[in-house]
A and B are shown apart, each in its own frame.
Chain A
Amino acid sequence: MNPFQIKEAPVVYDVAIVGSGAGGGMAAYMLAKAGAKVVLLEAGGYFDPADPKYITQLKWPYESPRRGANTTRPFGDFDAAWGGWQIDGEPYSAKTGTEFHWFRSRMLGGRTNHWGRISLRFGPDDFRRGSLTGVGDDWPITYEDVAPYYDRVDKLVGVFGSKEGIRNEPDGHFLPPPKPRLHELMIQKAAKGIGIPVIPSRLAILTKAINNERGQCFYCNQCGRGCQAYADFSASSVLCIPAIKTGNVTLINGAMCREVTTDPKTGLATGVSFVHTGTMQEHTVRAKTVMLGASACESARILLNSKSALHPNGLANSSGVVGKYLNDSTGASRGAFVPALMDRDRYNEDGVGGMHVFTPWWLDNKKLDFPRGYHIEYGGGMGMPGFGFGFGTENMNGKYPTANGTMKPAGGYGSGLKEDVRRFYGAYVHMAGRGEPVPLESNYCEIDPDKVDKYGIPTLRFNYKWSDYEVKQAKHMQDTFEEIFHAMGAIPMGNKPGPETNHGYGLEAPGKIIHEVGTVRMGKDPNKSALNAYQQAHDCKNLFVVDAAPFVSQGDKNVTLTILANSMRTSEFVIDQVKKKNI
């Protein structure tokens, strides 16, 4: 067999979809249900959270020789994500003095298999930050355009929450939220006393069954491992597998996309070429419409690599905007010790896989020195021990009295040390801010002129620096965390992060929060944007992007719910356009 031959599949699909995460999975689901013949290309392997081959849920730490440490998976042995910030043979680079960390999950369902399930709607203001603040840009669509799709996504995936009537935190169709855990009640009471709201969180987890295909949450706290009952939303279990069951989807795993192929005369997309990761052979699939849901950076990379005589800057890039305005959520965090929680009564407080309460953005940026808000996520409680449990006990057990009131020297060993570990168990809380950055043209990814990955595909080079806006926002987060800690009688751990800590006040490096968006932005003006209001390429009418690449901004909301809503909206637009014979 000639290893260099290009395999041409003999069929023309209605739609080729690249990527099976939230965006690609939703497109495959919508189009397959509508009767289209879909080829779904996924760079990674097959994954079904209910197949024992893949299940890590309900395993104990001692079932891992490293007790769940993160040696081969960034979030530990039991986390559902295959891949991470570094993948063998799939490098990327950054320009000197800048950095970006690119997390990729190579598997059916992509990163939705392990995500935090936080499902916050963008509010009306989140679509028009440019005109409201003079910083950044407006979306070409409004909340009213997306709201009907949010409604349908809520019902399809299942989201719990509470009706609060907060203007820029629109309520959805919510399942009942779980009651707060003990530390969450303490946080709620303390924060309320100093004017900071703490409301039930909004997560894509089924606290009640919504159909016969998916079970109800059984409160093991392990959504990050994927759910064998399909009681949380993953694109694999809720979108891709049902789409495949229609018989209309041809799934090709191990398909590493090289480029979108185009017709040299019309410039229209004709299909996708890819390298099979198992055989290293080149293939192409032909399709009448191409939809990219490969992730913000991967979709930009594919477009930039899809160069032709008619598309010399890459496909959908006559504006030159592809790759630019890359932005990730800001993130900063702090932990604290709660003396009142020493020697706790033991009971099962696993709850759902994530926080039961959170703080939505509650202040007016006009009165602050940074233009965008953040929300706060809370952690703590009597969780399952894993790798790292008990580390640093010597920093704690000399500071607080024992049960009978006596002090003892820090460190030590023996049965007294065992008593210390029992005493401190479940007595910690943790706060993490997740904020909206200002998207900048100067933060971008581009094709590295010198490098290719092991498949011979040119790789990305990043250029990303936080601005003062994000640093000031992180400072505000740290101040807020301390206020709440003090109000609840908690003692912050370590020194307060200052201007020199991490990227300033504990601000995480770009890419670390894994909410990157913006690289193939939509807009009304084809000179300043790559896609129109339906995520359709200005330059190529049968090409669509359905992941977070089209986002003009990301709010202080986690982006998955909006990827789902936008992909559903675009999929229906595609169906409509095919009906009208426009594409």
Chain B
Amino acid sequence: MKRRDTLKALGFSGITFGLAVGPAEAGVPLPPDKKVPLKVPGGRQPFEAERDVKLHADKFFTPQELKTVTLLSDIIIPADSKSGSATQAGVPAFIEFMMKDVPANQTPMRGGLAWLDNTCRKLYGKPFADCTRAQQINMVDQIAYPQKAKKDMSQGVAFFNMMRNFVVCGFYTSKIGIEDLGYKGNTPNQWEGVPEPVLKKFGLSYT
């Protein structure tokens, strides 16, 4: 049945609403968009795409800072028998982006890196990146365990917590991190309920 016939059958065609106008002759013509926008990726609003391009073009970390961030990233998430490391997953670039995306991150990060270098100079006579591997691990061990750390290391603990958060998050939201985690979804499927062996293990059932 054509739409017109359907409307006739419903008794609304032409009778109900008197002054009908066709959409082609009606309405307000929209002026042409004069701006030539950048290519907006699918799912982004133009202002978001512009903002992302600008943030990507900016630089936050100095080369020295980036070196330290990269070292810490692979100390926090090294390669193991199951998966790769934080740098293999692109974590330093993610952290760089988040500093620009949320400027409130900048002072704790930059200041934390400066605290780390200053503390390393006091302890080992060199900034963190120039220390030996053993010295770097010795330093990290003093700030990586919040409940065991000495009181005068509290700022370092706060910085390392921040770094751990960003590295773990950056890694486990990357392709290799998601594979490591074993997340099986984000794909079309038919949900049939919890697998039977799992139900059994928990003593649960659907009946």
Contacts and interface: CB of A to CB of B under 8 A. Distances in A.
A binds B: yes
Interface of A: 7, 9, 11-14, 33-37, 39, 52-56, 58-62, 65-69, 71-72, 77-78, 82, 178-182, 185-186, 189, 218-222, 246-250, 252-254, 276, 278-279, 283, 285, 288, 340, 345-352, 382-394, 398, 409-415, 417-418, 421-422, 425, 575, 578-579
7 contacts: A61-B174, A67-B169, A185-B194, A389-B172, A417-B77, A418-B77, A575-B12
B42 A52 contact: yes
B43 A12 contact: no
Given A12-B19, A37-B20, A60-B178, A54 B191 contact: no
Interface in B1-58: 3, 7, 10, 12-14, 16-17, 19-23, 25-28, 30-31, 33, 40, 42-43, 45, 47-48, 51-52, 55-56
B13 A385 contact: no
B182 A346 contact: yes
Nearest to B206: A179
B152 interface: no
B16 A34 contact: yes
Contacts of B119: none
A285 B27 CA distance: 8
B173 A62 contact: yes
Interface stretch (B95-103, B109-117, B120-128): B95-103
Given A14-B20, A37-B17, A247-B23, A219 B202 contact: no
Contacts of A418: 77, 80, 82-83, 180
Given A7-B28, A413-B140, A421 B172 contact: yes
Contacts of B90: 62
B67 interface: no
B33 to A, nearest CB: 7
Nearest to B55: A65
B101 A390 contact: no
Given A37-B20, A394-B161, 4 more contacts: A58-B186, A67-B169, A68-B173, A421-B181
Contacts of A415: 78, 80
B204 A65 contact: no
Contacts of B56: 65
Contacts of B45: 72, 82
Contacts, number: 268
Interface in B170-207: 170-175, 177-178, 180-195, 197-199, 201-202, 204, 206
Contacts of B193: 179-180
Given A54-B42, A350-B185, A382-B183, A345 B16 contact: no
Contacts of B145: 409-412
B173 A386 contact: yes
B144 interface: yes
Contacts of A253: 30
Contact of B188 (A66, A219, A345): A219
**Residue picked from B157, B165, B185, B201, most chain A C-beta under 10 Å:** B185
A558 B194 CA distance: 28
Contacts of B174: 61-62
A387 B102 CA distance: 13
Contacts of A71: 101-102
Lowest 3 CB-CB distances: which A-B pairs, in order? A390-B168, A179-B193, A350-B185
**Residue picked from B17, B175, B184, most chain A C-beta under 10 Å:** B17
B94 A414 contact: no
Contacts of B7: 33-35
B146 interface: yes
Contacts of B183: 346, 382-385
Contacts of A69: 98, 101-102
B148 interface: yes
B131 interface: no
A391 B165 contact: yes
A56 B40 CA distance: 13
Contacts of B146: 394, 410-411
A351 B189 CA distance: 9
A11 B43 contact: no
A182 B161 contact: no
Contacts of B10: 34-35
A461 B189 CA distance: 47
A66 B169 CA distance: 10
B192 to A, nearest CB: 7
B66 interface: no
B94 to A, nearest CB: 7
Contacts of B180: 418, 422
Nearest to B197: A345
Contact of B12 (A34, A186, A250): A34
B94 A278 contact: no
Contacts of B173: 61-62, 67-68, 385-387, 389
Interface string B64-92: 00000000000111101011000000100
A424 to B, nearest CB: 11
B189 A348 contact: yes
A380 B171 CA distance: 21
A182 B198 contact: yes
A13 B21 contact: yes
Contacts of B171: 390
A404 B176 CA distance: 26
B186 A394 contact: no
Nearest to A345: B198
B22 to A, nearest CB: 8
B163 to A, nearest CB: 9
Given A35-B7, A250-B27, A412-B144, A60 B175 contact: yes
B169 to A, nearest CB: 5
B164 A394 contact: yes
B75 A413 contact: yes
Contacts of B169: 67, 385, 387-391
B147 interface: yes
Contact of B14 (A35, A186, A393, A425): A35
A37 to B, nearest CB: 5
Given A186-B202, A417-B76, A409 B147 contact: yes
A54 B43 contact: yes
B191 A352 contact: yes
Contact of A67 (B94, B161, B185, B188): B94
Contacts of B26: 9, 11, 13, 37, 39, 250
